[in-house]
Amino acid sequence: MKKIKKKKEKKKKKKKKESYKKEKETRKKKKKEKVGRERSEKEKGKRKNHTRDKETEN
């Protein structure tokens, strides 16, 4: 009986670890996507400003 309980507990712990790892990975991916979006938006803004500067010089 005790051995069976221990095995079940080990399985539960293992599942928790795996789910935690998956959550961590998804968080990292979301963070990367967010950073990428912010960068691309900044670049777009820079491009727009850059074109405005050229127009004013002419």
Q: Is the pLDDT of residue 50 over 60?
A: no
Q: Look at residue 46 in the predicted model and tell me its pLDDT.
A: 63
1: helix, coil or strand? coil
Residues spanned by the domain of 44: 1-58
> Full-prediction pTM beyond 0.85?
no
Q: Name the percent of the chain lying above pLDDT 70.
A: 72
- Using left for φ > 0, alpha for ψ between -120 and 50, and beta otherwise, residue 2 falls in alpha
Q: Look at residue 2 in the predicted model and tell me its pLDDT.
A: 85
Total domain count, the chain? 1
Q: Is the pLDDT of residue 7 over 90?
A: yes
Q: Residue 43 has which token pair?
A: 């670049």
Distance (Å, whole) CA 33 – CA 35: 5
Q: Look at residue 33 in the predicted model and tell me its pLDDT.
A: 86
In degrees, rounded to 5, the angle at the alpha carbon of residue 24 between the alpha carbons of residues 20 and 27 is 140
Distance (Å, whole) CA 24 – CA 31: 11
